[in-house]
Chain A
Amino acid sequence: MEALVELERVKKHFVIRDGILGRRRRFVHAVDDVSLSIVRGETFGIVGESGSGKTTIARIIPRLVNVTSGSVKFSGIDICRASGRELMLARRRMGIVFQDPASSLNPRVTVAASIQRPLQLAGLPAKEARDRVREVAELVNLGTEVLDKFPHELSGGQQQRASIARAIVLRPEFVILDEPTSALDVSVQAQVLNLLLDLQQRFSLTYLFISHNLPVVRYLCDRIAVMYLGKLVELASTGVLYREPLHPYSLALLMAAPPPDPKMRNRRRFILTGDPPSLTNPPQGCRLHPRCQFAVERCRVEEPELRDYGSGHLAACHRIGDLDLGFAM
């Protein structure tokens, strides 16, 4: 298994200045010491609440934001230290699709122009580029009549398909999908997801799929990373995570999604209370302890490490040996 993307001990801190003349500085630990690797050909999911740092990871990989420390490798290229040209070439091998389809396309130009732009930047002659745009539009089921329209004239689903077309027009190996369906209607969501699966098979793409929609993640992903407050708390293959989650936070996330079978509504619940604490001042010890019903004294003082519990199933919790979270599943 060849790793296409490798994050090693990546940290991203944003500085907030306030007080007189911005002299008081606080740090937001958006991503705190995350290591993971995405294998070529797989769909890697990242789930977590808002503010867990999942979108920041999506923006770190193409270096839309710089890391504070740690390293990011994309097919062997050190993204954080790449020169302008190397970075540009590496970026051409990735595509990115954002959450909000309405603002993902330049409102001033037609859909065709937006999709064609990456080809222009790569130096393709105009005629070939136009043919390629039509080809890609067909792949994502965008009619030719849509191509000459402006983004605001399209439906949300069409806009998102246009964004996907722009992301794959350069035939990248790797596509970052930052909550690509969460702004869409359920029926359109299904269309877009199936389109993504279809494209993945056709072009053997590697996906990084970021979402808070667990059924969708389960449907699409091979492996899932669970994040909480900038930390990776659990990483496992999809089947394993759903069958036997090790971390209480993963369990809580899984339980929060309504079961597909209404008869199961009365199952036992494990639900977190309260809101996630502030990112500028995360709790000591395990970051989940104020919201975790299993927390003991050790959780309050000592930060748990990410450990391997067999066949690549990683989790960071002190109480894994004592608990059997399988009760709920």
Chain B
Amino acid sequence: MSRKRTYLKAAKNGMFITGTVLFLTVLLVAVFADRIAPHKYDEMNIEKAFIPPGRAYLFGTDEFGRCLFSRIIYGSRIALKIGLMVVAIQISVGVSVGLLAGYFGGKLDMILSFITDLTWAMPPVVLSLAIVTVLGPSLERVVVSTALVSWPGCARMVRSKTQSIKNMPFVEAARALGESDLSIIVRYILPNTLGIVIVLTTLQLPGAILSTTGLSFLGLGSQPPSPDWGLILSEGVNYVSKAPWISIFPGLALIYTAVGFNLMGEGLRDILDPRT
């Protein structure tokens, strides 16, 4: 495989470059949050509550006079952590279940598909509630419980794709050459499902961040004064007529990250596909 050609394609792919730039800024902001932010995320100053965005406070302040800009900067760490954790679990579980069920078929497929459907039927909120009630509220627990029910979509897509690929002549040829099942899955089927996996992942990352937001809103996930974007957004809802900026800025940050990740994924899919 010509690595040079891949780089060349990446350099020419506008979507990929834009997406990467957006995503990298989020990453850099997260890494250097304490250098960039002018204030600590939980630094309160009641006298300066509800200051609109301006020169002193770039994004304004909230009801406790906390600097919203600093809070959003720090919040990027949480957003990335949530997103990457959910996506990592989702892909590893979803892709392996999909490949195994699709490739081997028969009884294994029946069992795995049953588990997949069962998991699909599980409402994430209820699962999170159960986990949090037993173990106490924490962002990590909410993230893991969200991830544990988010893989069935991925598993189903990979399964059906696997089923269609495994009967193609090039897979038959591989079997006739004496490739093992593992080798066929890894070398022939997985690379050909990569496209949908990447797209699915990039579409789900913003969803993952948002769904944990909802749980944080219910008091199950991040606890105040955490600068979780979802938490800031939901707290801001109470003051939306008086100080709309409290909800607007975390929303914009979320959109920025989501768009960046989506563009990067779409671009990546095109770059990795030799047919384009």
Number of residues of chain A lying within 8 A (CB) of chain B:
30
| A92, A108, A117, A118 — most chain B CB neighbours (10 Å) | A108
Say yes or no: is A107 at the interface (Cβ < 8 Å to chain B): yes
B172 pairs with A98, CB closer than 8 A: yes
CA A94 to CA B178, docked complex, whole Å: 11
Q: Which residues of A contact B191 (CB under 8 A)?
A: 106, 108
Q: Which residues of B contact A198 (CB under 8 A)?
A: none
Instruction: Decide if the interface of chain B is mainly helix, strand, loop or mixed.
Output: helix
CA A112 to CA B15, docked complex, whole Å: 31
Say yes or no: is B173 at the interface (Cβ < 8 Å to chain A): yes
CA A150 to CA B273, docked complex, whole Å: 10
B170 pairs with A96, CB closer than 8 A: no
B274 pairs with A94, CB closer than 8 A: no
Closest residue on chain A to residue B172 by CB atoms? A64
Q: Which listed residue (B2, B173, B179) contacts A104, Cβ 8 A?
A: B173
User: What is the CB-to-nearest-CB distance from B45 to chain A, in angstroms, rounded to a whole number?
Assistant: 57
Say yes or no: is B134 at the interface (Cβ < 8 Å to chain A): no
A118 pairs with B177, CB closer than 8 A: yes
CA A109 to CA B188, docked complex, whole Å: 9
A106 pairs with B274, CB closer than 8 A: no
CA A148 to CA B169, docked complex, whole Å: 21
Say yes or no: is A62 at the interface (Cβ < 8 Å to chain B): yes
B170 pairs with A106, CB closer than 8 A: yes
Within 8 A of B (CB), among A49-69: 59, 62, 64
User: What is the CB-to-nearest-CB distance from B166 to chain A, in angstroms, rounded to a whole number?
Assistant: 12
CA A117 to CA B179, docked complex, whole Å: 9
Say yes or no: is B176 at the interface (Cβ < 8 Å to chain A): yes
Say yes or no: is A113 at the interface (Cβ < 8 Å to chain B): yes
- Interface digits, A201-243 against B, CB 8 Å rule (1 contact, 0 not)? 0000000000000000000000000000000000000000000
Say yes or no: is B168 at the interface (Cβ < 8 Å to chain A): yes
Say yes or no: is A192 at the interface (Cβ < 8 Å to chain B): no
Say yes or no: is B242 at the interface (Cβ < 8 Å to chain A): no
A107 pairs with B274, CB closer than 8 A: yes
A103 pairs with B2, CB closer than 8 A: no
Say yes or no: is B12 at the interface (Cβ < 8 Å to chain A): no
B173 pairs with A96, CB closer than 8 A: yes
22 inter-chain pairs at a CB distance below 8 angstroms, sorted by A residue, are A64-B175, A64-B176, A88-B178, A92-B177, A92-B178, A94-B176, A96-B172, A99-B169, A100-B169, A103-B169, A104-B170, A104-B173, A105-B170, A106-B187, A106-B191, A108-B188, A108-B274, A113-B1, A117-B177, A118-B177, A150-B275, A152-B275
**Chain A: residues with CB nearer than 8 A to chain B?**
59, 62, 64, 87-88, 91-92, 94, 96, 98-100, 103-110, 113-114, 117-118, 121, 148, 150, 152, 163, 166
Nearest first, the 10 closest Cβ-Cβ pairs linking A and B are A98-B169, A88-B178, A150-B274, A108-B191, A104-B169, A62-B176, A103-B168, A106-B170, A118-B177, A96-B176
Known: A106-B170, A106-B188. 14 other contacts (CB 8 A): A62-B176, A94-B176, A96-B173, A103-B169, A104-B170, A105-B170, A106-B174, A106-B191, A117-B179, A121-B178, A121-B179, A152-B274, A163-B173, A166-B173
